[in-house]
Amino acid sequence: EAQVTQNPRYLITVTGKKLTVTCSQNMNHEYMSWYRQDPGLGLRQIYYSMNVEVTDKGDVPEGYKVSRKEKRNFPLILESPSPNQTSLYFCASSLYPGNSYEQYFGPGTRLTVT
């Protein structure tokens, strides 16, 4: 089954404790992206990657890191989480950058930072 998976689905952590949210897709998609969803703000892009080893900032990159060492994986790293990073996070992928605008989303990771 074609899908984007994220782990964990739920996470409660404390300020400053490094964490990683994993994202994996099995569709051989080149483009991957991370979004956060906050009340009243919709979904906002954090980082994106057009291919292996090619990543760039989105609209709200502060406090986040990403890496793309393999095509299928695109982990989101919070080196020192803070309460303002409490949010619902979505990973997404699409077949080609600049071609397909239909992105496939993972199920989401709800993160709470206390």
Partner 1 sequence: DQQVKQNSPSLSVQEGRISILNCDYTNSMFDYFLWYKKYPAEGPTFLISISSIKDKNEDGRFTVFLNKSAKHLSLHIVPSQPGDSAVYFCAASAQANFGNEKLTFGTGTRLTIIP
Say if CB 105 and CB 92 are below 8 A apart. Answer: yes
Contacts of 49-57 spanning 24+ positions with Cβ under 8 A: 49/74, 50/97, 51/97
Residue 9 or 18 with smaller CB distance to partner 1: 9
CB of residue 80 to partner 1, shortest distance in Å: 26
CB of residue 45 to partner 1, shortest distance in Å: 5
Nearest partner of 92 among 12, 21, 35, judged by Cα: 35
Say if CB 58 and CB 92 are below 8 A apart. Answer: no
CB of residue 101 to partner 1, shortest distance in Å: 6
Binding residues vs partner 1 (CB under 8 A): 4, 31, 33, 35, 40-45, 48, 50, 56, 58-59, 90, 92, 94, 97-98, 100-108
CB of residue 48 to partner 1, shortest distance in Å: 6
Say if CB 34 and CB 52 are below 8 A apart. Answer: no
Residue 30 or 79 with smaller CB distance to partner 1: 30
Residue 42 or 69 with smaller CB distance to partner 1: 42
Tokens representing residue 77 in the block: 């790293």
